[in-house]
A and B are shown apart, each in its own frame.
Chain A
Amino acid sequence: MDDIRALADDIFRDRIRRARSMSPGKKVLLGPELFDYACGITLSGIRAQNPDYTEEECRRELSRRLRIARRLDEAGLYHPVEAVE
């Protein structure tokens, strides 16, 4: 357990040190860039899992999975209300 903790600390330390040498703006833009990259990997997985799917069907499956991710992420946090405007 101590070894795992030490490894986790080393990884965290390395991420912080690398981040300190990057410009803040670049780090912010990496957020959406990494999201696009992750979507690309997920789409590849969907294509491999469903070779008969069209590109449109693959995209729909990606959207469905992201909707699930958002619902899990926001579970219990938001409630519908009357429009403000």
Chain B
Amino acid sequence: MTTGPAIEHRVCRRHGLCLAVAPEAFTVAADGRIQVTARDDEAAVEKARQAARLCPTQAIRMPKP
């Protein structure tokens, strides 16, 4: 079973690049934190994987493929 991407809020500096790379996988919550919205959609998770690579602080944890 996969668990989908997860944000490490301790590390995240809210640069917001993930929102540009994978808008279908991430959103901004009311408190300003970035949240994961896609857990099962395979295409969205693949885009989230690219966002994880590009994240300036490497704050996105991906499940093992």
Co-complex (A, B): no
Tell me the A residues contacting B by CB distance below 8 Å: none
Residues of B within 8 A of A (CB): none
